[in-house]
Amino acid sequence: MKVLVPVKRVIDYNVKARVKADGSGVDLANVKMSMNPFDEIAVEEAIRLKEAGKVEEVIAVSIGVKQAQETLRTALAMGADRAILVVAAEDVSTDIEPLAVAKIIAAVAKAEGTELVIAGKQAIDNDMNATGQMVSALLGWGQAAFASKVEIDGGKAKVTREVDGGLQTIEVTLPAVITADLRLNEPRYASLPNIMKAKKKPLDEKTPAEYGVDVSPRLEIVSTREPEGRKAGIKVGSVDELVSKLKEAGVI
Interaction residues for other proteins, span 41-100 (CB under 8 A): 97-99
Residue 29 found at the interface with other proteins (CB under 8 A): no
Q: According to CB under 8 A, which residues from 230 to 249 bind other proteins?
A: 230, 232-236, 238-240, 242-243, 245-246, 249
* Of 143, 11, 7, 10, the residue nearest 63 (C-alpha): 7
Q: According to CB under 8 A, which residues from 198 to 217 bind other proteins?
A: 217
Residue 146 or 211: the one with the smaller Cβ distance to other proteins is: 146
Residue 22 found at the interface with other proteins (CB under 8 A): no
Rounded CA gap, 68 and 81, in Å?
17
Q: Residue 179: which region, alpha, beta or left (left: phi > 0; alpha: psi -120 to 50)?
A: beta
Q: Compute φ and ψ for 246, nearest 5 degrees.
A: -65, -35
Q: Applying CB under 8 A, which part among 41-49, 52-60, 134-142, 196-204 lies near other proteins?
A: 134-142
* Of 207, 226, 180, the residue nearest 43 (C-alpha): 180
Q: Applying CB under 8 A, which part among 41-49, 68-76, 143-151, 196-204 lies near other proteins?
A: 143-151
User: Which one among 92, 162, 195, 197 touches other proteins, defined by CB under 8 A?
Assistant: 162
User: Which one among 140, 154, 193, 212 touches other proteins, defined by CB under 8 A?
Assistant: 140
Given a contact cutoff of 8 angstroms between Cβ atoms, the answer to whether 63 and 10 are in contact is no
Q: According to CB under 8 A, which residues from 168 to 197 bind other proteins?
A: 168-173, 176, 181-183
Rounded CA gap, 210 and 229, in Å?
45
* Of 51, 50, 55, 70, the residue nearest 7 (C-alpha): 70
Residue 31 found at the interface with other proteins (CB under 8 A): no
Q: How many residues bind other proteins (CB under 8 A)?
A: 80
Residue 46 or 101: the one with the smaller Cβ distance to other proteins is: 101
Rounded CA gap, 39 and 118, in Å?
9
